[in-house]
Amino acid sequence: MQDVGQSYLEELNEIQRNAVTATKGPVMVIAGPGSGKTRVLTYRIAHIINQGVPPWEILALTFTNKAAKEMKERIEKVVGTGAQRVWAGTFHSLFAKILRREAHKIGYPNDFTIYDTDDSKSVINEIIKSLNLDKKVYNNGAVRARISAAKSNLITPKAYVNNEELMALDRMNRRPLIYQIYEKYAAKCLRAGAMDFDDLLLQMFRLLYQNPDGVREKYQQQFKYVMVDEFQDTNVLQYSTVKLLVDYPGSPQNICIVGDDAQSIYSFRGATIENILMYQSDYPNVQTFKLEQNYRSTSFIVEAANEVINNNKRQIPKKIWTDKGEGEKIKVIKAMTETEEGKRIADSIVEHKNRYNLRNSEIAILYRTNSQSRVFEEQLRRSNIAYRIYGGLSFYQRKEIKDLVAYMRLSVNDKDDEALKRIINYPKRSIGKTTIEKISKLADDNEMSMWQVLAQIDFGPRAKKSIGDFVQLIKSFKQKAVTQDAYELATFIARKSGISELLKSDTSPEGEGRVENANALLDAVKEFVDDDELIDGEEVQEKSMSVFLQSISLMTDADKDEENTDVVTLMSVHAAKGLEYKSVYVVGLEENLFPSFMSLSSPDQIDEERRLFYVAITRAEEYLTLSFATSRYQYGNARYNDPSRFLEELGQTNIDSLMSISKEKPSFGTPKVLGNFKKLGPQKVPALGIDPGDFKASPATKIKEGMTVIHLKFGQGVVKTVDERLVATIFFDGLSDSKEKRIMLKYAKLQILD
């Protein structure tokens, strides 16, 4: 073991040093954002080793392999190669390591298989089929999410069926037999000698709880020191398992948890903030250390974060501070539409790069839902700014988007074989892989398109009906494409193809995200159809599907520079946790979006949304820009939302903005509305008092110079000129950027006021 003395302690501030050297008994380290949490955790392990504790007696549980790897590398710099023998890793990886030794004691083989998501889906599909259940009702994603949630809360199949609350909820959701699927799934996995990812946690708990051959005492004696990183993200099952290792008669209870209740944002994955809030009750003799100095952000950002999080009722009190100076005040951008929001963010990024000499890689755009990325991707491309989607696909590369676009492509070009291959059996219509390969080969051999093969070749009786139904479906789309605009066709395709019903049947968080993405695509089509403004003097083209597809082809076909790491990062706030950037843009700060409309019925969920906003703003080191749009396309309609309540909570002294962002506080009783491809009811335009549902556009030929008109997107304006092509120049006083718009009246939706 390398003897380096204790010089590493000199790198720590007083509170950090106290947390590192308090090695006996239960310890809680509350680590604010940018407070040196990782350094404290790793130096604490190094300090314990330097006191003579063998590395293999230390268990350090993390949530990512990256965090575990970084932890070992840092420890090694202090204590040498012995760091590699510390049991540091994710809950799943370390519990799997133990189960590889001990699983036979609870009925599994030690060389058990670990099922991935596809394996689990396949098993569940078999069970649903064997029970003759409706696959649309018992959607695979929703069923898997339900089983996963049960396991995360220590609910076995036997406990599930005896839990009246769970059973009542299943009956309400028209899935009363989920308990049977869970029973059969658990039995099938056991027979197959397989565990899914949740089982790695559940079976570890079972191993320790049932304690065959004294296995619990064995690991209690081995792990004399237990540490848990990001403790606020633990679920009931994880904490219960840790307590089995730590709590026993005569235990020194050398458990140290590190986390921040203000950054607890993963309840949708089963994490519970109760674990960290109740930790002091579980261990009354706990030593608590609060890391309150922020080394990341400037004063205005830190103070704004404090102001925001103070609105949460249940929390561990702390006051984050920094000595990095005041820095720049927080900028707030108000836009009329999401397109204007995207454009102004792109313009601001160009300004930041020039004024502050920032690289693209020092800039991030954070949003509440992944479906918001589309408008920013488009505007960044137009501004020639390199970007990447972090932790996810570019909007137009997501499966649900490519599937819908493939139907759109085939509706205007039946020679598009790639589009046909993608969706001929999606949603499933009993056209197997062998049949598709046969169609493709016949097309190649006869130099025909696959569509021509479908129309001319007589298939066997089994495939004939399925292919015939598909051909008729596409023909109906082709007919609509001739007479309808792009949005009317897109909504028709989403509904008639079965994609809408298929996507909305998956009520898991991932499934709801796919619905949001598909709705965002429909909103993009709607915006394309409604956009009647001339661009650079060019005439507006027809609002057909072929023109829309052409407009997005640059988004889908643009070459990717995989080597370019100097890119602006776009990501959801959830994905941004633990990261930091010099300049951060938090966008879409509107009621119903951030906070999410799904959270508005519960104070606890609003608190979690506020913690999510807290995480978002504390990613910024020097420059923080917040934005919102007063109108936004959602589910095909222009929605008019108030600014987010969180903007009001920032504290005006921290904001570089003269505009008022105050509003009436919304109640928690706002009804939950899920889009699922359905149009929402009309929304009032607050500034104009107009109901879009009652709005009546005046005939283009009636609009003359000098008239006052109203446009749902641009507001009230005065017609300055109208030329012989019926192109009008209109002055809209309410716009924040260029107030004059040139609009082709043929496509404009203007109502004459006088």
CA distance 506 to 515: 9
| Residue 229 is a catalytic residue | yes
| Residue 263 is a catalytic residue | yes
Reply yes or no: is the peptide bond before residue 595 cis, omega within 30 of 0: yes
CA distance 115 to 147: 14
Angle between helices 399-412 and 545-557 (to 10 degrees): 140
Q: Characterize the bridge pairing of strands 58-62 and 225-228.
A: parallel
Residue 31's H or E segment, with its range, is strand 27-31
Token pair for residue 475?
A: 């023909």
Out of 38, 484, 670, 729, pick the active-site residue: 38
**Closest listed residue to residue 337, CA positions, set 610, 582, 630:** 630
Q: Are 719 and 733 in contact (CB under 8 A)?
A: no
How many C-beta atoms lie closer than 10 Å to residue 553's C-beta?
12
| Residue 230 is a catalytic residue | yes
CA distance 63 to 38: 13
Out of 230, 338, 341, 400, pick the active-site residue: 230
- Three-state secondary structure string covering 573-642: HHHHCCCCEEEEEECCCECEECCEHHHCCCHHHHHHHHHHHHHHHCCEEEEEEEEEECEEEECCEEEECC
| Residue 619 is a catalytic residue | yes
> Cα–chain-centroid distance for residue 370?
5
How many C-beta atoms lie closer than 10 Å to residue 551's C-beta?
15
CA distance 403 to 409: 10
Token pair for residue 617?
A: 């703003």
CA distance 625 to 616: 11
Strand partners, 387: 568
Torsion of CA 387, 388, 390, 394, to 10 degrees: 120
Q: Are 197 and 92 in contact (CB under 8 A)?
A: yes
Q: Are 264 and 273 in contact (CB under 8 A)?
A: yes
Based on its alpha-carbon atoms, the radius of gyration of the chain, rounded to whole angstroms, reads 29
| Residue 556 is a catalytic residue | no
Token pair for residue 471?
A: 């051909």
Residue 367's H or E segment, with its range, is strand 363-367
Out of 514, 619, 639, 645, pick the active-site residue: 619
Burial class from Cβ neighbours inside 10 Å (0-12, 13-18, 19+) for residue 581 reads buried
Q: For residue 387, which amino acid is it?
A: Y
Q: Are 105 and 218 in contact (CB under 8 A)?
A: no
How many C-beta atoms lie closer than 10 Å to residue 327's C-beta?
18
Q: Are 583 and 622 in contact (CB under 8 A)?
A: yes
- Helix, strand, coil tally for the chain in percent (to 5): 50, 15, 35
| Residue 645 is a catalytic residue | no
Out of 16, 62, 253, 263, pick the active-site residue: 263
DSSP string, 517-539: HHHHHHHHHHHHHH--B-BTTBP
Query: 559: which residues sit within 8 A by CB, 6+ positions away?
Result: none
Out of 16, 17, 37, 234, pick the active-site residue: 37
Residues marked active site are found at: 37-38, 229-230, 263, 619
